[in-house]
């Protein structure tokens, strides 16, 4: 039998019950109006498969972008640089001009003289033709970014079957986009003469790699050597023979480092054809054909 306990006043019991109900209602209202913040999900590093797929997608995007830029540069170079009279601007006329140019080039041995901008390409072409800068028929000079004209062709006096092509200079910005190869249609030439008026720039090495990839040959001409020799004469214990040997050895090592096993390096000055290696250069060029 349960123990007896005295009952309290009914007013006290009712007040306690109301207080308990009010406290519970307040807790329920707080839970409904202020939900707790969700916990942040745990950090998970992307898997190797996802990383590889993202890298592959990025490489594909860059590949197609380079193709698009090369195609755009080729189209703008051909259709923007060729000046045709307004009455001859029909697409059929442009196609016929390109076909006639291609048929004409197939009749000759096409030799491209190429290199960086302002490296003495035009002066070398005039010297090979036996023309001085002051004589009539010499090619007009252009420096810097103004050298972006069409390739100019000339008959080589030593062999009427050879066409010397003076190509526009390559710029450093065109190496990454591979725009120069498409712009001048480098694959259509049979032989090459690479020129450089200073150190072995990346542009020259890039052209040498492209020519080697096409399984074609070239001669390397370090132009304006007279300017460098005159600037170095003031040094102590100057010896011109030792200096030229060191320069020739330097360029040969640079070309051998990219896979050119037997490079033909000539140090010459187109303005002084009777000095340095100009005569040896002409003899080596004639012996190729």
Looking at residue 86, its pLDDT comes to: 35
Looking at residue 284, its pLDDT comes to: 93
Band of pLDDT at residue 261, cut at 50, 70 and 90: confident
Residue with tokens 């307004």: 86
Q: Give yes or no for a contact between 195 and 251, defined as CB atoms under 8 angstroms apart.
A: no
Task: Flag whether pLDDT at 128 surpasses 90.
Answer: yes
Q: Per-residue pLDDT averaged across 112-123, rounded? A: 91
Band of pLDDT at residue 7, cut at 50, 70 and 90: low
Backbone torsions φ then ψ of 46, nearest 5 degrees: -60, 145
Looking at residue 149, its pLDDT comes to: 66
Looking at residue 143, its pLDDT comes to: 44
Our measurement of the distance from residue 71's CA atom to the centroid of its chain's CA atoms, rounded to an integer in Å, reads: 14
Q: Give yes or no for a contact between 276 and 226, defined as CB atoms under 8 angstroms apart.
A: yes
Distance CA 220, CA 265 (A): 5
DSSP string, 216-260: --EEEEE--HHHHHHHHTTSTT--HHHHHHHHHHHHHHHHHHTT-
Task: Flag whether pLDDT at 228 surpasses 70.
Answer: yes
Q: Is 124 helix (H, G, I), strand (E, B) or coil?
A: helix
Q: Is 273 helix (H, G, I), strand (E, B) or coil?
A: coil
Which residues does 144 contact at the CB level (< 8 Å), separation at least 6? Answer: 117, 118
Task: Flag whether pLDDT at 259 surpasses 60.
Answer: yes
Looking at residue 150, its pLDDT comes to: 77
Backbone torsions φ then ψ of 220, nearest 5 degrees: -105, 125
Strand-pair category, 265-267 with 218-222: parallel
Looking at residue 60, its pLDDT comes to: 82
Looking at residue 280, its pLDDT comes to: 93
Band of pLDDT at residue 73, cut at 50, 70 and 90: low
pLDDT in tens, 104-113: 566 889 999 9
Looking at residue 85, its pLDDT comes to: 36
Q: Per-residue pLDDT averaged across 191-216, rounded? A: 90
The mean-pLDDT minimum among 34-43, 91-100, 187-196 falls in 91-100
Distance CA 285, CA 289 (A): 7
Task: Flag whether pLDDT at 33 surpasses 70.
Answer: no
Which residues does 94 contact at the CB level (< 8 Å), separation at least 6? Answer: 79, 82, 84
Q: Give yes or no for a contact between 169 and 112, defined as CB atoms under 8 angstroms apart.
A: no
Residue with tokens 């990454």: 176
For the chain, the straight-line distance linking the first and the last C-alpha, in angstroms and rounded, comes to: 131
pTM of the full predicted structure? 0.61
Task: Flag whether pLDDT at 124 surpasses 80.
Answer: yes
Distance CA 32, CA 54 (A): 44
Residue with tokens 């102590």: 236
Distance CA 212, CA 255 (A): 11
Distance CA 221, CA 114 (A): 10
Tokens read off for 236 = 């102590």
Q: Per-residue pLDDT averaged across 211-221, rounded? A: 92
């Amino acid at each position: 039998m349960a123990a007896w306990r005295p009952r309290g006043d009914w007013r006290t019991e009712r007040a306690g019950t109301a207080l308990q109900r009010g406290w519970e209602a307040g807790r329920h209202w707080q839970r409904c109006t202020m939900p707790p913040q969700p916990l942040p999900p745990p950090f998970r590093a992307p898997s190797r498969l996802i990383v590889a797929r993202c890298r592959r997608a990025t490489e594909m995007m860059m590949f197609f972008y380079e193709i698009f830029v090369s195609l755009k540069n080729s189209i703008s170079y051909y259709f923007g640089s060729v000046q045709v009279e307004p009455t001859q601007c029909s697409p059929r006329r442009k196609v016929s001009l390109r076909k006639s140019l291609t048929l004409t080039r197939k009749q000759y041995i096409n030799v491209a003289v190429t290199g960086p901008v302002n490296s003495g390409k035009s002066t070398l072409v005039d010297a090979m033709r036996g023309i001085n800068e002051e004589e009539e028929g010499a090619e007009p000079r252009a420096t810097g970014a103004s050298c972006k004209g069409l390739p100019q062709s000339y008959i080589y006096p030593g062999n009427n079957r050879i066409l010397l092509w003076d190509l526009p200079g390559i710029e450093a910005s065109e190496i990454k986009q591979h725009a120069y190869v498409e712009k001048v249609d480098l694959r259509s030439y049979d032989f090459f003469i690479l020129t450089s008026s200073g150190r072995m720039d990346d542009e020259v090495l890039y052209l040498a790699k492209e020519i080697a990839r096409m399984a074609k040959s070239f001669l390397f001409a370090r132009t304006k050597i007279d300017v460098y020799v005159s600037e170095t004469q003031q040094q102590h214990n100057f010896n011109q023979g030792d200096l030229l040997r060191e320069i020739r050895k330097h360029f040969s090592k640079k070309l051998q480092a990219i896979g050119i096993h037997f490079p033909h390096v000539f140090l010459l000055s187109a303005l002084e054809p009777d000095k340095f290696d100009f005569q040896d250069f002409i003899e080596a060029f004639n012996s190729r054909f």
